Structure 1
Amino acid sequence: MMTNDFKALAGLINNRLSQMSYGNQPIELYEPIRYIMSLGGKRLRPLLVLMSYQLFKDNPEEVLDQALAVEVFHNFTLMHDDIMDDAPLRRGQQTVHEKWNSNTAILSGDVMLVKAYDLLMDSPGNLKDIIRAFNACAAGVCEGQQFDMNFEHLPQVTEADYLNMIRLKTAVLLGFSLELGAMLAGAKPSESKALYDFGVDVGIGFQLKDDLLDVYGDQKKFGKQVGGDILSNKKTFLLLKALELANPTQLQVLSHWLSQTSFDANQKVKEVTAIYDQIGIKELTLAKMNEYFAKGFERLGAIDAAPERKEVLRTFTQYLIDREK
């Protein structure tokens, strides 16, 4: 039956994950998969699959495996991203390549991608269309990651370039999660597309909010170092907008800090944030973020589903928007 209890749906997902078999031998191949899948996370993407499905049908437990395909794929991308970023920690624990080694992490990640396809194989609805949509999403995520790596070495990145990158790297998977739920429920293609667009819009909004919290968030609530993007010269919306709008004096200060390889971390964060405050970057980011959230909710409102069913998805999305970590 349909449920509007987010925790109940998350319980279904976590219970099924605890029963998931990825393979047994060689243990060095499969243990890293069990490890990364046990590290938790919000399980946002499979939740969106189930909520989208519930817009049109009851019994979300019937498409649990398909919802988990998205979660397995997401964690596969995290495992490979961590190698590329040389990241030591994931969700507060050692990354797979640190706990084992990079070759093992690559190979285990490859098996996870295969497992994601396996979980989609018994999908209700048109399997060919589902796989085609999944392939488009997966390619988009890879394109976004490559653009993000390219940006590290480019002297200039436009706002449009950045928004396209986060659309691909982050938002298309949220869009596909919602699209998949609708496709599994046999919704009309126009409804599936509208849900995909809704997911992409709010996904871009979520990333913009993450950029904002990195500078202006409460460190205790945010869950990681405030100012980390400033310290690493990450080309976020905030930095790109500041470089675009800075006057000559402000641009000189920004350029100085971007060029330094040895610096006082607190001073750098303080001075760059002061430039952001002078330009009004916080307000500009909030406006852009809310523009995408508004576009998303407008798309959700146009979907032909019972209002009480749409309200479940709307309430959950608003809850995510209001989170401060």
Structure 2
Amino acid sequence: MGRNNTKSNDRSCEDEKILDRYTSKVNERLKDYLNGLTGELKRYHPFMGLCADESREYILRGGRRIMSCCALLTYEGYTGEIDERILDLCVAIELYRHAILIHDDIADEDEMRRGGRSFHKLFVEGYDERFGNSLAIFYGNLLFAQSLESIKNSGIDEETKGQIIELFAESYQSVNESQILDILFEYTIPTVREWEIMASNRASPLFGMIMAGGAMLGGAPEDEMKVLTRAGGHIGISFDIQDDIIGTFATEEQYGRAVGSDIILCKKPLHIAYAYELAERDDLEILERLMNKRSEEFYSDDERIKTVKEIVSRCGALDRAKETSRYHAKKAIELIRSTSIDDGVKDFFTGFIGFVAESLEWYG
């Protein structure tokens, strides 16, 4: 048992070093692109230059570039190298991802992102909430347009450019469809199946797009591109479930910010959808009252968070959600290992995805 834990920790440390090394490469390329964008927008209007400066700081805040690293590793797994083409794709991925995060923070009323103010909150001072929200919506749209522009102006061949742009457009539509359902679920009681439909269009197509993009640029066989797209989909769902669990069951110290906001907003992640199916009648009645936006009963935030967590744990919904996350992690690993990608890259994904699945035991 101890030896297995030691091996797991060693593997985790090695994976973290790989992520840090690849994140540095992405950041270096991203800084160059954002500097150019700032200059371009300043020439258009001084205020746009200010927006670009703020977005540069926002995008370059600390944290590992997990999605870009997945694309880099997939590409390297087929080519044995990292070059300008894959780094150009990583820039596009980061612009795309932050376009979504900016919009996400507005919808979820989040005031903080990675140790700093959310993008819309950066522009409230001196103006008002409406100004900050409106500006952030438009700037998020601008970043998505820039993600496509960065691909168009990259050194990627024309045919592949078109295919990657199509992947980005399809993924962006899917993500926005899922966000509509996500906010609808704040006012309804979704079934587990409805949650699965929503989740299949959230992080799932995003990771699928990233794995497919890295494989496409790397010259992977077409059948393996499809396999890696499916693998990315499973990674996205597994990580999505884990992220929702952390946001509710982690400590504030573990999470880096206040926990339980999903409960306060009456969001319905998988562990809540399972609770509606598994809770005993008395607990179910309490859950329905606490997670009802239209309820006129008053509960303090702390009382609501504490009671909902207890019900989700007691009825087995938390364990069921963890099992589902592990299932998708296992499927992703199996699919990746079935390809001809480099064995070292297979080992990275196996260790990294496996570690994320194992870490679920830390919460709840």
Superposition TM-score, scaled by structure 1 size: 0.90
Give ranges in structure 1 of 5+ residues lacking alignment. none
> Which piece of structure 1 moves more, 192-201 or 270-279?
270-279
Whether the 8 Å CA contact 1:32–1:108 is kept in 2: the answer is no
The CA deviation at 1:267 is 2.8
Range with bigger deviation, 120-129 or 201-210 = 120-129
Match of 1:302 among 310, 328, 338: 338
Q: Report the AA paired with residue 44 of structure 1.
A: I
Runs of at least 5 residues in structure 2 that lack an aligned partner in the other structure: 1-16, 124-131
> Match for residue 51 of structure 1?
73
- Residue among 285, 290, 299 paired with 2:321: 285
1:152 corresponds to: 186
1:97 to 120, 136, 154: 120
Match of residue 29 from structure 2 = 16
The separation in 2 between residues aligned to 1:85 and 1:266, in whole angstroms, is: 18
The 5-angstrom pairing of residues 13-92 of structure 1 reads: 13-20=26-33, 21-22=36-37, 23-25=40-42, 26-29=45-48, 30-62=52-84, 63-92=86-115
- CA shift at 1:74, angstroms? 0.5
AA aligned to 2:106 is: I
Distance of 2:183 and 2:300 partners within structure 1: 26
Question: Take 2:236 and 2:28, find their aligned partners in 1: how far apart are those partners?
Answer: 26
Report the CA distance between 1:281 and its aligned residue. Answer: 1.7
- Letter paired with 2:76: Q
Structure 2 counterpart of 1:291, one-letter code: Y
**Which letter maps to 1:133?**
L
Confirm whether residue 113 of structure 1 aligns to residue 147 of structure 2.
no
Alpha-carbon distance in structure 2 between the residues aligned to 1:305 and 1:11: 23
Q: Which of these residues, 160, 169, 185, is aligned with residue 126 of structure 1?
A: 160
Letter in 2 for 1:18: K
> In the TM superposition, what are the counterparts of 1:159-238 in structure 2 within 5 Å?
159-238=192-271
Deviations 1:106-132 (A, max 9, x none): 332232122211221232462222222
Q: Any idea what the Cα deviations from partners look like across 1:142-198, whole Å, max 9, x if unmatched?
A: 111111122222x22111211222231222111111110001111112111111111
Deviation larger for 227-236 or 40-49: 227-236
**In structure 2, how many angstroms separate the alpha carbons of the residues matched to 1:226 and 1:33?**
25
Residues 279 and 322 from structure 1, CA distance in 2 versus in 1: closer, same or farther, beyond 3 angstroms? closer
- Scaled by the length of structure 2, the TM-score of the pair is 0.81
Mean alpha-carbon deviation: is it higher for 94-103 or for 189-198?
94-103
Would the aligned equivalents of 1:10 and 1:47 in 2 still touch at CA under 8 Å?
yes
**Deviation of residue 95 (structure 1)?**
2.1
Contact 2:274 2:317 in 1 (8 A): yes
Amino acid at match of 1:43: R
Deviations 1:18-72 (A, max 9, x none): 2222123224222343232122332111111101101101221322011110111
Match of 2:19 in 1: 6
For residues 106 and 290 of structure 1, the distance between their equivalents in structure 2, rounded to whole angstroms, comes to 35
Q: 1:301 to 1:247 in 2, by over 3 A?
A: same
Q: Percent identity?
A: 24
Distance 1:5 1:91 in 2: 21
CA contact (8 A) 1:33 1:112 kept: no
CA distance in 1, matches of 2:65, 2:99: 14
Q: Mean Cα displacement is larger for which, 311-320 or 279-288?
A: 311-320
User: Contact 1:6–1:316 at 8 Å: present in 2 too?
Assistant: no
2: CA distance between counterparts of 1:85 and 1:172? Answer: 21
Offset, 1:242: 1.0
Moved more, 201-210 or 27-36: 27-36
- Compare 306-315 and 178-187 and name the one that shifted more: 306-315
Contact kept, 8 Å, 1:69 with 1:116, in 2: the verdict is yes
- Once the two structures are TM-superposed, the CA of residue 104 in structure 1 deviates from its matched residue by 2.6
What letter is aligned with 1:72? L
Moved more, 311-320 or 106-115: 311-320
Residue 6 to residue 133, structure 1, CA distance change in 2 (3 Å) = same
